[in-house]
Every structure is written in C-alpha cells, then in structure tokens.
C-alpha cells in the first residue's frame, strides 16, 4: 500500500505594500491678497504648477489677470495652466455675488458633469497623478465658499489626494 502524499498549499503572500505617497493638491484664493503674498504661499508650498480654475481669467485686481499672473509665476519657476471649463458658469457667478450659495452649488453640480468640464477634470487628474505639486486658483479666499472645494471633491471621488488650502496674508 502506497502512502498518500499530502501537499500543503503554499500560503499566499500578501501583496507588497506600495510606497507611493498620496499626491498633494493645494488650493489658493487671492481675495484680499497681493500678488507677492500669493507667490510667497505658492513658493512656501513648493508648488510647481498653478491651475487657474476661473471661467474668466481676468481680474480687476492688479496682477491677477491671466497674462500678468502667468509672467509673475514664471519668474518664480511656477508654470501656469488655465482650465477654463472647470470655472463657474455665468449664472453661478451671479448667484455667488448675490450670496446664494445653495443656487451656486446646484448650478456648479450640473456644470461639473458636462463633457467639457469632465475633460478638464481628467486633465487635472492626469497632472496630479504625475506627481507635480499643483495648486488650484480662484478668487475666493474661503475655499468652502468657492467652487475649488467642489473640484477637490470631484478629484477625491476618483483618487486619493492630500489637500492643503493655502491662505495668503491679507492686504
């Protein structure tokens, strides 16, 4: 009679833990701040790319219109990208000026689902995944009262990210 050989199944090794760090994402608003104060915050955070999320990259605030801001950033070694389609549509900006945040959020929730906004969001996600230190820019000082907060939420639905809201010094 032959002895029955019993082989134990090799225990499965746990999947190796990845050492990838969670990417950082910064946000910044320039309300009541100067260009030098914004640049100081971006430099302190070692941001390498500023993503302008305004629908209209023009400002009555000196130094914050697209071309002038991009030039100031370039002098600091920070790249500039305008993702206009992540900006708040005109009716949302009107609601924000009127202080109607509920209406603003309803309008923006609909807007962020549009194909153009989703394409811009995909571009942002690709940039974040590249490991670049990125900051999202808009006017509002308080990130909770700004559509940047909704962009961050959309990013977090699709990937892990560590968010830091930069607050520049006041005028």
Q: How far apart are CA 58 and CA 66, in angstroms?
A: 6
Instruction: Note the pLDDT of residue 7.
Output: 45
Chain-centroid distance of CA 73 in Å reads 17
Beta strands in the chain (DSSP E): 24-29, 49-52, 79-82, 134-138, 162-166
Instruction: Note the pLDDT of residue 155.
Output: 98
> pTM score, two decimals?
0.86
Q: Is 38 in contact with 168 (CB distance < 8 Å)?
A: yes
Mean pLDDT in runs of 10 for the chain (171 residues)? 46 42 95 97 98 96 96 98 98 94 96 98 97 96 93 97 95 71
User: Can you give the length of the chain in residues?
Assistant: 171
Instruction: Note the pLDDT of residue 8.
Output: 46
What is the DSSP code (8-state) at residue 131?
T
Retrieve residue 156's tokens. Answer: 């977090």
3-state secondary structure of 27: strand
Instruction: Note the pLDDT of residue 20.
Output: 66
Beta strand 162-166 pairing with 134-138: unpaired
Neighbouring residues of 3: CB distance < 8 A, sequence distance ≥ 6: none
Q: How far apart are CA 93 and CA 104, in angstroms?
A: 7
């Amino acid at each position: 009679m032959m002895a029955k050989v019993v082989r134990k199944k090799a225990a499965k090794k746990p999947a190796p833990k990845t050492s990838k760090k969670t990417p950082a994402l910064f946000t910044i608003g320039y309300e009541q701040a100067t260009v030098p104060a914004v640049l100081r915050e971006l430099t302190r955070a070692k941001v390498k790319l500023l993503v302008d999320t305004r629908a209209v990259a023009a400002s009555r605030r000196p130094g914050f219109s697209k071309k002038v801001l991009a030039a100031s950033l370039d002098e600091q070694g920070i790249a500039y990208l305008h993702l206009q389609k992540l900006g708040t549509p005109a009716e949302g900006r009107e609601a924000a000026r009127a202080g109607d945040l509920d209406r603003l959020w309803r309008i923006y929730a609909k807007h962020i689902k549009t194909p153009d906004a989703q394409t811009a969001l995909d571009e942002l996600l690709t940039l974040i995944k590249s490991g670049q230190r990125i900051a999202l820019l808009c006017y509002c000082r308080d990130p909770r009262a700004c559509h940047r907060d909704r962009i961050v939420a959309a990013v977090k639905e699709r990937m892990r990210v560590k968010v830091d809201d930069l607050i520049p010094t006041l005028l």
